Structure 1
Amino acid sequence: MLSSYPFWWFALPVLLLPIWWHRQKRQRLKAEPLATARFLPAAAPEQLRVWQWRDRILLLVRCLLLTVLIAWLAATIFPWRGDTVLLDTGLDKTWAAREIGRAGFADAPRIDLPPDALQWLRAHERDWRPGARLLVAARAESIAMPARVPRFSHAVELLTMPGAANVPAPRPLRHQVALAALSGRDAAWRSVFAAFDHAGDGTIRYVTVAEPNAETKLIVWDMPNAVPPAGWRASDWWIAPASVNRAAFPELEKAATLTINGVLLKYADSPRGRLWASDAFPPRDADTARALYEAWQSLGTAPASAYPTASQALDVARASSSAIIDAKPAAWLGYVLLALFLLERILAHARRN
């Protein structure tokens, strides 16, 4: 079980209390009236400290009760934060102070903006009291525009500072391709990936290597009558028509078909990765290469570039409570705690009677 506040587990030494309590129990000596007792001086009843494990079940229940109480406190979050500003440390301080004051958060506590701020805020939203307001102040490029605007149970306002005009261009993505082809067809494949570099406006670079490694995303296999090494793995394989054989790729016998931009593709999943086969491997002209590139991009091989988020006030979803959703692990602990408390009271009452 994951704990939201794990420091509560340092309270486990409290389990010594019921043991100490049972140790301190005293038992009154039972007095029996005797006929000759009238000749003896009167004496007050005495108590004797008895160290016996008579109430083992009651002691066990009390220890379990304290353990479950600590676990419940460690897994349950009580809202304690008020109005807060999530501040980007790289933000211009003069601009940030002016805009935060205009938004009415001049006296609100500050928190350093975490990575993936909106997702982090969604996961930790139950830390804030119901009426608290939140302001996210950051540079425009620090928060990527989400595909769907998130909704929170608190009032959240995004305040983004426009980026400077001289922001450096993002570095191109690097896709590593393991190329295994005959000497006569090796040049054709390399020219295909060189054309892919220009087709993507420089945003994606394809680098060919001789053998795959942990960074390899694509393996091109153009080796007729040959079987790939057993250790080769990649998320995708491109297999030339002459290299499709039952011994090397038995999964392709039951492959499904897909047509995109006039390119017929056969695909099948295998333990080594997803296998792709097509008569267009490798493209023989520029039009086929362009159609193959567009088809490959439509399959989601290249991630879309992130766009900065503009300043805005996010809608409040009063119906959804992230605190209740995220607190499910502590709910069953509450029922266990109640059951142990009732059992402890029953055993304590039975012991007295």
Structure 2
Amino acid sequence: MSSMSAYWWLLLPLIILPIMWLRQKRESSLRQSLATAKFLAAASPHMVQVWRWQAWLLLILRCLLLLIAIAYLASIFMRWRGDTVLIASGSDSAWVEQQINASKMQDAKRMSFCANISCDIQSTQILYWLEQHQSWWKESARLLVLGDANQIRLNAQSPQLAQALEVKVRPPSNANKQEKTKPADHYIALHSDRAAAWQHMFTAFAAAGRADHNYVWQQAPDAQTELVIWDSTQAVPQNWKTNSKAHLWWLSSSAGIVNDQATEEKHPGLQSLADGKTFIKQFKTAESRYWLMQSGSDWPISLNDRQNAKKLFEAWQVMSLKVQDYPATSFTLPASKNAIPLQQQENTRDVLLVLLLCIFALERILTHVGRR
């Protein structure tokens, strides 16, 4: 119910009305004669209110009825926000002020967005969020989005907004450019008597594949480990299983980690390696994938076997492929007259309407039964 206006909640004190109505002293029309009353001393009659479960239930239903009615009214409020500047958390303040002054939006309301609850908007997809919540703003409002290239993600399609949108992305600094050119670190936990041969194979990866990878070799896996290589006839110890967060394991057939819970998967990249005397079967569990080295495989691949090294490297890259971010660039979108505000995914308005009708029906039924 994030689209509710705060002003409608000022009607919450109306919930006191059902409580006051049921607390009023009402004289019951039911009279019962007691045969022993003539033996009692005369006394003036007085009223005593007795709360029954029907009264409590009726009170709860009427309070819920008012509460849901207020929530429903708040979910269909009129557009009320004006010009707004949406700023990515952690943006350079001097650059932000410069862009706001250039757009002549000094008097506009400012809102921050990030993934944490400390920001006004909890979202990393600000353009998609704006498209979903465009009913918050007047059609005449202007929207200005400011942030770095990695903080503003592009959607598959340009957002369709009823308001004019301007996105300004801060150009990367020299330090950021140098950081992007830095080779990516890949942490690999290795247990083998042929450690030098394995390292030579990854050198072949750099020659046959991409040379911008920096391989960090570990004696034991930890939270940073991406790949675990267990080239031993012994079983994998328990601490390797618990400490490793790797999504891919290279194992010998006697490692003892692939059990009945793992399902075999076909991988085209691995099947093409059979021609080079490298036989690998892939298994999958809920946590990780395992490449099981079959007996007779020529492991590790020699440094001169660049053809099979390239095939194995490409298969590994497919397994460890990460989601690619497509950072946005500065652009401007005029207001779209054909934009249709999309409904909230949680369908809050429909749920509230159904609850309102159900509780109203229960309240009427209970009131009618109580009168009888």
Whether TM-score is above 0.5 comes out as: yes
What corresponds to 1:41 in structure 2? none
Q: 1:268 aligns with which of 277, 283, 287?
A: 283
What corresponds to 2:302 in structure 1? 284
Q: Does 1:181 align with 2:192?
A: yes
What corresponds to 2:143 in structure 1? 135
What corresponds to 1:62 in structure 2? 59
Q: Give the secondary structure class of the aligned counterpart of 1:61.
A: helix
CA–CA separation in structure 2 for the residues paired with 1:141 and 1:30: 76
How far 1:311 moved relative to its partner? 1.4
CA–CA separation in structure 2 for the residues paired with 1:293 and 1:68: 63
Counterpart residue identity of residue 179, structure 1: L
Q: Is the 8 A contact 1:181 1:223 kept in 2?
A: yes
CA–CA separation in structure 1 for the residues paired with 2:9 and 2:254: 60
CA–CA separation in structure 2 for the residues paired with 1:253 and 1:109: 54
Q: Give the secondary structure class of the aligned counterpart of 2:223.
A: coil
What corresponds to 1:325 in structure 2? 344
Q: How does 1:232-243 map to 2 (within 5 A)?
A: 232=241, 233=244, 234-239=246-251, 243=252
What corresponds to 1:97 in structure 2? 100
Q: Does 1:228 align with 2:239?
A: no
Counterpart residue identity of residue 171, structure 2: G
Q: Is the 8 A contact 2:3 2:136 kept in 1?
A: no
How far 1:14 moved relative to its partner? 6.9
Counterpart residue identity of residue 155, structure 1: Q
Q: Is the 8 A contact 1:258 1:266 kept in 2?
A: no
The percent identity for this pair of structures is: 25
What corresponds to 2:332 in structure 1? 312
How far 1:80 moved relative to its partner? 3.6
Q: Give the secondary structure class of the aligned counterpart of 2:301.
A: coil
Q: Does the C-alpha gap of structure 1 residues 271 and 123 become closer, same or farther in structure 2, counting only changes over 3 Å?
A: same
Counterpart residue identity of residue 283, structure 1: I
Q: Is the 8 A contact 1:151 1:315 kept in 2?
A: no
Q: Does the C-alpha gap of structure 1 residues 47 and 177 become closer, same or farther in structure 2, counting only changes over 3 Å?
A: farther
Q: Give the secondary structure class of the aligned counterpart of 2:216.
A: strand
Q: Which moved more, 1:156-165 or 1:251-260?
A: 251-260
CA RMSD, Structure 1 to Structure 2 (Å): 4.4
Q: Give the secondary structure class of the aligned counterpart of 1:289.
A: helix
CA–CA separation in structure 1 for the residues paired with 2:223 and 2:301: 27
Q: Does the C-alpha gap of structure 1 residues 5 and 189 become closer, same or farther in structure 2, counting only changes over 3 Å?
A: farther
Q: Does the C-alpha gap of structure 1 residues 318 and 164 become closer, same or farther in structure 2, counting only changes over 3 Å?
A: same
Q: Residue by residue, what CA displacement relative to the aligned partner does 1:141-191 show, whole Å, maximum 9, x if unpaired?
A: 254443613534433523324515524323654332111112xx1111123
Q: Is the 8 A contact 1:188 1:282 kept in 2?
A: yes
Q: Give the secondary structure class of the aligned counterpart of 2:114.
A: coil
CA–CA separation in structure 2 for the residues paired with 1:191 and 1:6: 64
What corresponds to 1:219 in structure 2? 228
Q: Is the 8 A contact 1:145 1:306 kept in 2?
A: yes
Q: Give the secondary structure class of the aligned counterpart of 1:188.
A: helix
Q: Residue by residue, what CA displacement relative to the aligned partner does 1:251-290 show, whole Å, maximum 9, x if unpaired?
A: 6895524236953553111366211246464221341333
Counterpart residue identity of residue 345, structure 2: D
Q: Does 1:112 align with 2:120?
A: no
What corresponds to 2:253 in structure 1? 244
Q: Does 1:208 align with 2:217?
A: yes
* Unpaired stretches in structure 2, ≥5 consecutive residues: 32-43, 116-123, 275-279
What corresponds to 1:25 in structure 2? 25
CA–CA separation in structure 1 for the residues paired with 2:183 and 2:19: 65
Q: Is the 8 A contact 1:12 1:67 kept in 2?
A: no
* Unpaired stretches in structure 1, ≥5 consecutive residues: 32-45
CA–CA separation in structure 2 for the residues paired with 1:325 and 1:293: 43
CA–CA separation in structure 2 for the residues paired with 1:261 and 1:192: 19
Q: Does the C-alpha gap of structure 1 residues 276 and 332 become closer, same or farther in structure 2, counting only changes over 3 Å?
A: same
CA–CA separation in structure 1 for the residues paired with 2:335 and 2:322: 31
Q: Figure out how many residues of one structure are paired with residues of the other and give that number.
A: 326
Q: Give the secondary structure class of the aligned counterpart of 2:300.
A: coil
What corresponds to 1:53 in structure 2? 51
Q: Does 1:258 align with 2:268?
A: yes
Q: Does the C-alpha gap of structure 1 residues 144 and 294 become closer, same or farther in structure 2, counting only changes over 3 Å?
A: farther
CA–CA separation in structure 1 for the residues paired with 2:231 and 2:334: 52
TM-score w.r.t. the length of structure 2 is 0.68
